[in-house]
Structure 1
Amino acid sequence: MAFRFIDSHCHFDFAPFKGNEALYLQMAKDRGVTTFIVPSVNQSNWNQVNGLSKQFDGIYYALGIHPLFITSNYEKELESLAALLDEENNKCVAIGECGLDFWHQDNDKEIQISVFRQQCLLAKKHQLPLIIHSRKSHDMVVKLLREIKPERGGVIHGFSGSLQQANQFIELGFYIGVGGVISYERAKKTKMVVSQLPLDKILLETDAPDMPLFGFQGQKNTPDKVQKVCKHLALIRKESMQTISETVYKNTTSLFGI
């Protein structure tokens, strides 16, 4: 039985993919990965992710401002983002990567919250899902989502919170992004959480070229590894690869409208 996968979060405009796209796309396709969602980090790579979607059928993209890539020019960037989203483009399937990152104490939380709030409002206006980066900030992300109520929901990328936090996001219409972290023995809490989530609320992702799986530490992560993430998830949940791959494929096409 051949499996079909979508890498729901892959930075395909970064090295080592840049300039070698055909090679890495073929590697992925050889492992059943047919479709890729490429989020941006700020205005510096909006054109690149759009360009990749025009060049390759299986690539879709998201426009957003990542909390760790907020520049001093963020107000103008938000205006530019709003203007771009007003243009019709059916391969722009989400707003992201956006969110909050309170890991580093020296980051300006108030600016992060303001930039994220504006993107949530844009998601609501344009009826687009959100691709959310949330680190040490789940409670504030939940608070803002409850306040704004973006109807199309989205995905909490690279989730590593508690089961209670995951369920709060699910109640708000969000999916939980599961990646290579579940391949590590030490990730006991995350593995326990993904074993108990409803399968119809899970997406698979690599975060390539970051977040390599166990056994590939020190190497650039690649989108073909979605198959390995699925394999680990099947072992953790004691379900078949077929069941997981089919359900998660439907989840992803449903969320992003592809």
Structure 2
Amino acid sequence: MLIDAHCHLDFPDFDADREAMFERARAVGVEHFVVPGTTRSRWSAVLALGERADISVCLGLHPYFIAEHVDDDVEALPHAIDAHPEVVAVGECGIDARFTETLDAQWALFDAQLRLAKSRRLPVVIHCVRANDPVAKRLRQLDLPAGGLIHAFAGSEEQAKRFIDLGFVVGLGGAVTHERAQRLRRAVASLPEDGYVLETDSPDMPMAGYLGMRNEPARVVKVCEVVAALRDQSFDNVAAQSTANAYRLFGISKE
């Protein structure tokens, strides 16, 4: 069994063939999916998917969509989470340092969600692009009780260790399938058994061999194959370990 620990299955990209997408995933052993929220306008679609037994959901405000967020969204988030106990984490939230003109607003939004995760004792799902070190510093300051996921990790061995020491796991996805990502691949080989989960970020984060194509959860199998080779372990071992880590992080029931 595999879990896709981060996939945006609520996105319109899947409207035409969502059920077929689930069938393709199940056919290759992907049996559970964690779907994060990105904007307030999409929370209802995420929660609707969460009615499925094979989906766990998170609610948050993504930094990429900073222009779509308003102050009321930050105030609405804790109410939405409190009203839906099935929510397993706060997120997707974080910092995308590619967009320097919105960094101050991103940090304010991120900090509000980190404090919410701390007050609700929920894990947090973090989008962290070109900001591993300042994000790790902020996480150390806040000391979040339930840790979380550093989604789409693409950093160094030292940065991975820093996050893991803070109680986080790193998400391994499409980036690790590209041979040019040598620093990341070295980090993957050094991760502790309980330090990672596998993900696709569907429909985004294209993998080697699928450039220009919509991503989907069935391809988490390719991530598992690459991670197993880098760690000199069997596919089954990596699948079982990453699944156990996702169960633990998100409190997913095995029933």
TM-score (norm. length: structure 2): 0.95
Q: Does 1:67 align with 2:36?
A: no
Counterpart secondary structure, 1:77? helix
Measured in 2, the distance between the counterparts of 1:251 and 1:34 equals 15
Q: Which residue among 156, 171, 179 is the counterpart of 1:177?
A: 171
1:136-155 → structure 2 map (5 Å cutoff): 136-155=130-149
Q: Does 1:110 align with 2:93?
A: no
Letter in 2 for 1:77: D
1:121-144 residue CA offsets vs partner (Å, 9 max, x unmatched): 111111111110001111221122
Letter in 1 for 2:30: V
1:150-201 residue CA offsets vs partner (Å, 9 max, x unmatched): 1100010011111111111111100010002111111111111101111211
Q: Does 1:23 align with 2:17?
A: no
Give the Å deviation of 1:72. Answer: 6.3
Give the Å deviation of 1:256. Answer: 0.3
Instruction: Say whether the 8 Å CA contact 2:39–2:68 is kept in structure 1.
Output: no
Report the more deviating stretch, 17-26 or 144-153: 17-26
Measured in 2, the distance between the counterparts of 1:223 and 1:89 equals 25
CA 1:83–1:185: 2 relative to 1, 3 Å: same
CA 1:29–1:73: 2 relative to 1, 3 Å: closer
Query: Where does residue 96 of structure 1 map in the other structure?
Result: 91
Give the Å deviation of 1:104. Answer: 2.5
1:19-48 residue CA offsets vs partner (Å, 9 max, x unmatched): 422111111000110100011111021110
Letter in 1 for 2:188: V
Instruction: Say whether the 8 Å CA contact 1:15–1:209 is kept in structure 2.
Output: no
The aligned length equals: 252
TM-score (norm. length: structure 1): 0.94
Query: Where does residue 74 of structure 2 map in the other structure?
Result: 78
Letter in 2 for 1:233: V
Q: Which residue among 10, 14, 33 is the counterpart of 2:30?
A: 33
Q: How high is the sequence identity, in percent, across the aligned residues? A: 39
RMSD between aligned residues: 1.2
Counterpart secondary structure, 2:125? strand
Give every structure 1 segment of 4 or more consecutive aligned residues whose post-TM-superposition deviation is greater than 4 Å.
none
Instruction: Say whether the 8 Å CA contact 2:128–2:135 is kept in structure 1.
Output: yes
Counterpart secondary structure, 2:92? strand
Q: Does 1:253 align with 2:250?
A: no
Measured in 2, the distance between the counterparts of 1:27 and 1:129 equals 29
Measured in 2, the distance between the counterparts of 1:104 and 1:124 equals 26
Give the Å deviation of 1:57. Answer: 1.6
Query: Where does residue 238 of structure 1 map in the other structure?
Result: 232
Contiguous gaps of at least 5 residues in structure 1: none
Instruction: Say whether the 8 Å CA contact 1:152–1:173 is kept in structure 2.
Output: yes
Report the more deviating stretch, 246-255 or 180-189: 180-189
Measured in 1, the distance between the counterparts of 2:5 and 2:74 equals 24
Give the Å deviation of 1:16. Answer: 3.0
1:39-84 residue CA offsets vs partner (Å, 9 max, x unmatched): 1111021110001111x22011110011111236532100010111
Query: Where does residue 210 of structure 1 map in the other structure?
Result: 204
Instruction: Say whether the 8 Å CA contact 2:89–2:122 is kept in structure 1.
Output: yes
Q: Does 1:42 align with 2:36?
A: no
